[in-house]
Amino acid sequence: MRGQSPRALRADENEGLLSAIVNQSSVGVAVADLEGRFKFMNECFSRLVGRSREELLRLSFADITHADDLPRNAEMFERARTGDGNFEIEKRYVRPDGTQVWVHNNVTFLRDGAGVQNAVLAVALDISDRKRAEARQARIDRHTALRTEVSAAFNEGGSLRAILQSCAGSMVRHLGAAFARIWTLDESGAVLELQASAGLYTHLDGGHARVPVGRYKIGLIAAEREPHLTNNVQEDERVGDKEWARREGLVSFAGYPLVAEGRLVGVVAMFSREALGQDTIEALESVAPIITQGVERKQAEEKLRESEERFRTVAESASDAIITIDVESRILFVNRATEKIFGHAAPSLVGQSLTMLMPDYL
């Protein structure tokens, strides 16, 4: 410009060149004062956060930072004010449309001519793809852990209720549930009985202790034999007490039917205080066969045990000798009457051949 010294002209040229380089950079660059108010940003940073330069110059870092990451943002400027070195930080920025972008910030503190820190320079790199990949892997790991724990619960034994309670607890831990529940179908085939409840609620009584098939959201899942997922619990027509859902801050619901070869066995379900993805239904789908087969096996074992107990009760009260044998005629059981009639104690007979109780000519 006319009237400027050669040195001033070179300074203007250098400043213009530096500005052009920064604006053409493929990484975001932003400068803010020690209160976090924006003073400068390049085009890449503007695109990254989805806001124009004019808008950003009226805002601060805190205005565009995700609420959960505000403590990190405050830490960054507190360190700037105390002169506590340069550092790196990962946090989320929120765009005007509500979408989030994960950013790795390389933070440098700027000083004035007297050497006093008066600004913060943040070089921002979009790491959203990496964060999404990490989140996917974390979900896979959680779902794998869920399947492992559910399988282990059935292998370790115990009562059916104790096993299902362990399974419900695993759902709370690995699927982000506020609470999880498991119902099994009763012998009539018309009612679901609550067997396990973990998380926010652990009681097994109340209005959902016995749910008729076809009623409420649980009964409908059983009747339709189709999974159900909603991220709008407080407005879902299947949720009867919407005020309760609002009071507890519940956002989502996922339920899955337990079905074996066309036979309904029960229902697993969970509520969460955060939105759930389709992968939650997939996780329930992956453990449903394990729970279904485990429930059927335990129920069959319990029925067999009850049958054996009934047989023993009848046999021990009989006045006639009752003996059970295997296919090789080895004695498996004798009642008290057998002991009295033949004069042998039961422990000495079990495992022996039936012929020991027969006369030689037979």
**Residue 5 pLDDT:** 46
Q: Which residues, other chains included, contact 260 with Cβ-Cβ below 8 Å and sequence gap of 6+?
A: 289, 292, 293, 296
CA distance 175 to 280: 7
**Residue 194 pLDDT:** 95
CA distance 306 to 309: 5
**Residue 113 pLDDT:** 76
Q: Which residues, other chains included, contact 345 with Cβ-Cβ below 8 Å and sequence gap of 6+?
A: 339
Largest separation between any pair of C-alpha atoms in the chain? 139
CA distance 107 to 121: 6
**Residue 25 pLDDT:** 61
Q: Which amino acid is at 241?
A: D
- Output the six-digit token pair for 283: 């996780």
CA distance 139 to 133: 10
**Residue 84 pLDDT:** 63
CA distance 69 to 353: 77
- Output the six-digit token pair for 158: 């115990």
**Residue 301 pLDDT:** 78
**Residue 77 pLDDT:** 79
**CA 225 → CA 105, 208, 211, 257, distances in Å?**
49, 19, 15, 6
CA distance 174 to 143: 7
CA distance 77 to 94: 19
How many C-beta atoms lie closer than 10 Å to residue 90's C-beta?
14
Each residue's pLDDT, cut to its tens digit, for the chain (362 residues) gives 455 444 443 434 444 444 555 566 678 999 999 889 999 999 899 999 999 999 999 999 999 999 999 998 888 778 777 766 678 889 999 999 999 999 999 888 887 777 777 888 889 999 999 998 988 888 888 888 888 999 998 888 788 899 999 999 999 999 889 999 999 999 888 999 999 999 998 888 887 889 999 888 899 999 999 998 888 888 877 777 788 888 889 999 989 999 988 899 999 999 999 888 888 888 888 888 899 988 888 877 777 777 777 777 777 788 888 888 888 888 888 888 888 888 888 888 888 888 887 777 66
Q: What is the CA radius of gyration of the chain?
A: 35
**Residue 1 pLDDT:** 46
**Residue 219 pLDDT:** 92
